[in-house]
């Protein structure tokens, strides 16, 4: 079945460092891909999305490109801030339903 | 803004108790979901509902049931709580499939501890 694999955390970075969180997927058909973020004590919220191959989703300085050839959707940010500390989830959807399949999540800790 | 409200942030229950987790959304969304979140396992779908009085099993429905008597409310029921149901439970809602943009709106979660 469809699945999402994320790099394990925690990822610990200093402020202003470059961030990459890897995400690869397995799916039949052509899924849409998402990154959700969960700040401490909060529910998940959509960070960005891409609905077809070569699309780039972006929001709040984060970017991810839908790479069909490598079945990947890696999350990047050029300069992280302490306020970016959170758990990041990669997810996919496909087919006729709007269920999401989530990865295991990656904890990002940014130190001042 | 869409608001998904889960009635209890923290609950402590004893093994064998019946547990109700309530979720209410205020944006007239057709779809509602219950996930559980566990370290190293991510989010796993328990049940979802596309309409009032309709429900479908997700990936891990065993030990759970749901109720959707009104469009805005989706309840998760643990008929007889067990220690392996200690977890964070997340409710979410979304527009119908034909209108969906890909976004689920989540509540803040209910952390359940079963002793």
Q: Provide the pLDDT for residue A94.
A: 66
In this prediction, residue A93 carries a pLDDT of 86
Residue A100: per-residue pLDDT: 87
Task: Check B102 against A96: CB less than 8 A apart.
Answer: no
B6: closest chain A residue by CA: A43
d(CA A101, CA A63): 20
Could you tell me if B60 lies within 8 Å of chain A, comparing CB atoms?
A: no
Residue A32 is nearest to which of B40, B94, B102, comparing CB atoms?
Answer: B102
Strands A11-14 and A106-111: parallel
Using a 10 angstrom Cβ sphere, with 0-12 exposed, 13-18 middle and 19 or more buried, the burial of residue B108 is middle
Flag whether residue B34 sits within 8 Å of chain A, measured between CB atoms. Answer: no
Q: State which residues of chain B have pLDDT below 50.
A: none
Query: Beta partners for B2?
Result: none
| pLDDT band per the 50, 70, 90 thresholds, residue A15 | very high
What pLDDT is stored for residue B15 in this prediction? 97
Q: How far is CA B32 from CA A82, B9, B24, in A?
A: 33, 18, 9
Q: Are A107 and A21 in contact (CB under 8 A)?
A: no
Query: Is the Cβ of A1 closer than 8 Å to some Cβ of chain B?
Result: no
The predicted structure's pLDDT at residue A97: 60
d(CA A82, CA A13): 9
């Amino acid at each position: 079945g469809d699945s999402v694999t994320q790099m394990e955390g925690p990822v610990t970075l200093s402020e202003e460092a470059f961030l990459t969180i890897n995400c690869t997927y397995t799916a039949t058909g052509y899924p849409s891909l998402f990154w959700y973020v969960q700040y401490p004590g909060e529910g998940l919220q959509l960070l960005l999305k891409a609905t077809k191959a070569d699309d780039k989703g972006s929001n709040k300085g984060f970017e991810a490109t839908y790479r069909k050839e490598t079945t990947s959707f890696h999350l990047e940010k050029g300069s992280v801030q302490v306020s970016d500390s959170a758990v990041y989830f990669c997810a996919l959807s496909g087919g006729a339903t709007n269920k999401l399949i989530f990865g295991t999540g990656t904890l990002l800790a940014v130190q001042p | 803004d869409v608001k998904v409200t889960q009635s209890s942030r923290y609950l402590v229950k004893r093994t064998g108790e019946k547990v109700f987790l309530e979720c209410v959304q205020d944006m007239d969304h057709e779809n509602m979901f219950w996930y559980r979140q566990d370290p190293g396992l991510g989010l796993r779908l328990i049940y979802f509902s596309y309409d009032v009085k309709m429900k479908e099993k997700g990936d891990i429905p065993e030990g759970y049931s749901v109720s959707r008597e009104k469009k805005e409310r989706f309840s998760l029921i643990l008929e007889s709580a067990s220690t392996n149901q200690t977890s964070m439970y997340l409710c979410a809602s979304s527009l119908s499939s034909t209108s969906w943009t890909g976004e689920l709106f989540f509540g803040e979660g209910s952390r359940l501890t079963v002793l």
